[in-house]
Amino acid sequence: GAVVSQHPSWVICKSGTSVKIECRSLDFQATTMFWYRQFPKQSLMLMATSNEGSKATYEQGVEKDKFLINHASLTLSTLTVTSAHPEDSSFYICSAPGNSGSSYEQYFGPGTRLTVT
Amino acid sequence: KQEVTQIPAALSVPEGENLVLNCSFTDSAIYNLQWFRQDPGKGLTSLLLIQSSQREQTSGRLNASLDKSSGRSTLYIAASQPGDSATYLCAVTPRDKLSFGAGTTVTVRA
């Protein structure tokens, strides 16, 4: 099956600094990728849709200037959390739809645990 | 706006018992429905995908049904094992943008 990787798997940073998280589709191309955030004991909330070669589409309530998304190639999307604060501490997961016929099955990365101190 | 609800929120059963997890959604105009498994602190593992034209999918001990008209899906896990302990999430999509339920956390007691 299709594989999506994320790097790093966990990161600790100081308040006010920026952190970049990478999402890669390893064996397929993804013109679209999705970024989710998950707080403890809660479900995944879609943050934004990353589009290769164009601007990302952000969900309501997500600050686009704080969560910068770059989808520079068909296999890589990056999420940069700028000027991180403790409330940004969360589990960030990306996904990409596999183009297997018409199913559009979603493949998820293993997630990145961000802790802001 | 699509809303996805999963009942129960948590479930604890003895090993060997069959599991029944429920998922309901408010907008029946879906493209497909996926069931995922999430272990603590980990990402999601896709279990089953049911396309809107299908009524069920099976994989090993897992069987998922879909009734699009009533906005419901059920995941059955036969003969549960301690290794089945995890959180199970269902998600629906109009095409490729998933809406998730809050999940059902399952504990299978040995």
Query: Per the CB < 8 Å rule, is B42 touching A111?
Result: yes
Write phi, then psi, for A88 (nearest 5 degrees).
Answer: -85, -10
Structure tokens at B35: 């069931």
Query: CA B103 → CA A5, A41, A73, B36, distances in Å?
Result: 23, 9, 33, 9
Query: Per the CB < 8 Å rule, is A113 touching B42?
Result: no
Convert the pLDDT of each residue in B16-44 to its tens digit: 999 999 999 998 888 889 999 999 888 89
Sort out which chain B residues have CB atoms less than 8 A from A95's CB and list them: 44, 98
Q: Which residues contact A116 (CB under 8 A, 6 or more apart)?
A: A12, A13, A14, A15, A84, A85, A86, A87, A88, A89
Chain A interface includes B93 (CB < 8 A)? yes
Chain A interface includes B36 (CB < 8 A)? yes
Question: If you average pLDDT over every residue of chain A, what do you get?
Answer: 91
Residue A117 has pLDDT above 60, yes or no: yes
Average the pLDDT over B80-102 and give the result: 88
Taking any CB pair shorter than 8 Å as contact, residues of chain A touching chain B are 1, 6, 32, 34, 42-46, 49, 91, 93, 95, 97, 102-111, 113
Residue B68 has pLDDT above 70, yes or no: yes
Amino acid at B17: E
Strand order from edge to edge, sheet including B19-25: B4-7, B19-25, B72-77, B62-67, B56-59
Average the pLDDT over A73-99 and give the result: 93
What pLDDT is attached to residue A57? 93
